């Protein structure tokens, strides 16, 4: 009898936890890496992690805590999300936000991730002339 009571001390809490957590076998959304960290508007970014498929993730946003930008998801699977930086993105440090999908038991959540991107200004760079290319004649001095 004493042995049975001692055994129930361990079984009862485990049984209660199993009843309270029906989704315990599901993987929780987790971000492990973001690359590249420095981008320009129009660039693609890849998030690597766990449970990133379309069954768990609805939308990816970038935020500076004043303005949230929705990003277009290009590719998505359980381990990666590839998205594009919006062309109207302003330069600065932006944090990743992920909107989770609504399930039968949970409402959607907006998760602030400890992952940041530095958006640089989209600049027009002047490159060298290709060999054989002619420069425009304009305000050149003889």
Which has the closest alpha carbon to 96: 122, 51, 64?
A: 64
pLDDT at 28: 84
Count of alpha carbons within 13 angstroms of residue 126, beta-carbon side: 1
- Collect all residues with Cβ–Cβ distance below 8 Å to 48 and sequence separation of at least 6: 31, 32, 33, 34, 35, 79, 80
Domains and CATH numbers, the chain: 27-119 (2.60.40.10)
CA atoms of 59 and 70, how far apart (whole Å):
7
pLDDT at 122: 81
pLDDT at 42: 94
Structure tokens at 8: 């129930």
Q: Any idea which residue has 């590839």 for tokens? A: 82
Residues of the chain with pLDDT below 70 are: 1-26, 124-142
pLDDT at 7: 54
Structural contact between residues 79 and 49, judged by C-beta atoms closer than 8 angstroms: yes
pLDDT at 102: 86
Structure tokens at 128: 């060298």
Longest C-alpha distance within the chain, in Å?
Answer: 110
Tens digits of per-residue pLDDT, 12-45?
555 545 545 555 446 788 999 999 999 999 999 9
């Amino acid at each position: 009898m004493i042995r049975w009571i001692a055994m129930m001390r361990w079984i009862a809490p485990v049984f209660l936890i199993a009843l309270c957590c029906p989704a315990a076998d599901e993987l929780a959304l987790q971000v492990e890496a973001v690359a590249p960290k420095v981008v320009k508007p129009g660039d693609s970014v890849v998030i690597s992690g766990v449970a990133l498929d379309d069954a768990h993730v609805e939308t990816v946003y970038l935020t500076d805590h004043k303005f949230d930008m929705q990003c277009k998801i290009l590719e998505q699977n359980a381990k990666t999300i590839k998205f594009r930086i919006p062309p109207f993105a302003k330069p600065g440090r932006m944090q990743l936000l992920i909107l989770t999908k609504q399930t039968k038991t949970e409402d959607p959540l907006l998760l602030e991730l400890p992952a940041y991107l530095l958006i640089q200004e989209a600049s027009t760079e002047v490159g060298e002339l290709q060999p054989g290319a002619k420069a425009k004649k304009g305000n050149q001095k003889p």
